[in-house]
Amino acid sequence: MNEKKVLVKLAGAIVLLAVLAVSACVEGKEAEDTQDVVVTGQTTEDRGGYNGQIIAGLTVTGQATEYRSGDDGTHQAGLSFDYTDNGDGTVTDNNTGLMWAADGNSAGCNNGNNLNWNDAIDWANELNFAGYTDWRLPNMKELFSLVKFEESAPYIDSTYFPNTGNIYWTSTTYAPSTVAAMFVGFNFGHVRYFDKTYDYRVRAVRGGP
The CATH number of the domain holding residue 198 is 3.10.100
Decide if 135 is inside a domain.
yes
Q: What is the count of structural domains for the chain? A: 1
State the pLDDT confidence band at 10, using cuts at 50, 70 and 90: very low
Decide if 33 is inside a domain.
no
State the pLDDT confidence band at 175, using cuts at 50, 70 and 90: very high
Mean pLDDT of 6-17: 46
Which of 77-81, 125-129, 172-176, 187-191 shows the lowest per-residue confidence on average (mean pLDDT)?
77-81
pLDDT score, position 47: 56
Contact, 95 vs 57, CB < 8 A? yes
The CB-side HSE value for 76 (13 A sphere, CA atoms) comes to 12
Decide if 32 is inside a domain.
no
Decide if 26 is inside a domain.
no
Decide if 16 is inside a domain.
no
Decide if 1 is inside a domain.
no
**Mean pLDDT rounded to a whole number for the chain:** 81
Structural domain including 121 reads 38-65+74-207
Decide if 196 is inside a domain.
yes
Decide if 80 is inside a domain.
yes
Q: What is the pLDDT of residues 30-83, one digit of tens each?
A: 333 333 334 444 455 655 544 444 445 678 888 889 888 898 888 888 888 999
